[in-house]
Structure 1
Amino acid sequence: MEWTDEIIARLRQLWDEGLSTAEIGRRLNISKNSVVGKAHRLDLPARPSPIRRDISGARPSRPAPARVTGPTLPSLAIAAEPVPVMPHVTAAPAGGASTVAAVRTAPPRPTLVASRPAAAPRAVARVPACCWPIGEPGTPSFRFCGDPAMNGKPYCQPHAEIAYVRVRDRREDVA
C-alpha cells in the first residue's frame, strides 16, 4: 500500500471528523493499525480514549490489594492446629455385652479441637514424589506416579531414565 497525497488528505479529514481508527481503516480500505501508524507519523492530535471515563475526570478510588506477608503455602511444621470434629466410630466399652461399635456423630456446628498437644513444633521431612503422569488427564483414573523422586529431579529412577535421554555424539554414528 502506498500513501498518496489524496489518501493522506482523506485520512486527515476523517481524523478531524473524530471517526475511530477502525472506521477510518474501513473507509480507506486499509487496516486499523495502518491508520494508527500513519497518524502517528503525521503527528496528528491524540484521540480520546474509547474507554468510558468519569466525566468529572476523577478516578474512582479502589483500595489497594492487601499484601500477603509470610509463606503462602501451609507450613510443614506439625503444630497445635485446630481440626474440626468429624463423625467417627468408637469402640464399645470393654465391660459391655454389645460387640457392635457405637457411632458418635458430630454436632451440627463442628467444634474445634487441637489435633496434637501444644508441644514444641517440629518440622516434618517431606520426601518429594515422582511427578510422572499416568493415565489420561481429566479421567478419574489419572494420577501421578508418587514413588520417591531422585535428588534434584522431579521423577523416580525409572521415569527419569525415560525423561532424560542423553544426546548421542554424532561422531559415534560415523563409520
Structure 2
Amino acid sequence: MDWTTEAIERLRALWAEGHSTAEIGRRMGVSKNAVVGKAHRLNLPARPSPIRREALAERPAQAAPAAARLPRPAGLAPRSTLAPTVAPAMATTLAATPAPAPAPMPAPQPSVVRAFPRLGSARSCCWPIGEPGTPDFRFCSAEATPGKPYCTQHASVAYVKARDRREDAA
C-alpha cells in the first residue's frame, strides 16, 4: 500500500471517529494489519481493545485503589487491567504472615548413578520409562537401532506410518 497524503488524512479521520481497524481497512481497501501498522507509525492515540471493553462492561464497577486513580506520568506504559489484585485486608494478612521455610532437599544417593544416554550416541535406547522426576525414572538403555535413538521395539512404536494410525483409529 502506498500511503498518499489523502489516504493518511482519511485514516486519521476514520480513526478519530472510533471505527475499528477492520472497518477502516474495509472502507479504505487495505488490510486491518496495514491500518494498525500505519496508525502505530503515525502515533495515533491508542484505543482500548474491543475485547477488554466488552469484558469491562460485563463486570460490576469496582472502586479503584487510590494509586490506580493517579494520573500516569508521560512516557509510561498504561497499567495492565489483567494484573492480579489483592484485597486490602488480605494484603495485610499476607504481609504479617512469614513465608514458610523451604523443605530441605534430600541428600543425593551416591550409590545410584543415572547416566542419561546422549542423544547423539547410537549405543543405547533413549526411550523414557517411568515418570520424570521420580526415583523410578530411567531410559530403556537396550541397544539402539543404527541411525535411530531407540531400540527395535521402541522404534516400532515411535515411527508409525500415517496409514497405520488411521487403521488403528477405525
Larger CA Rg, structure 1 vs 2:
1
TM category, shorter: 0.3 to 0.5
**Structure with bigger RCO (C-alpha 8 Å, 6+ apart):** 1
Query: Could you tell me the TM-score, scaled by structure 1's length?
Result: 0.39
| Greater share of residues in helix | 2
TM-score by length of 2: 0.40
Q: Which has the higher strand share?
A: 1
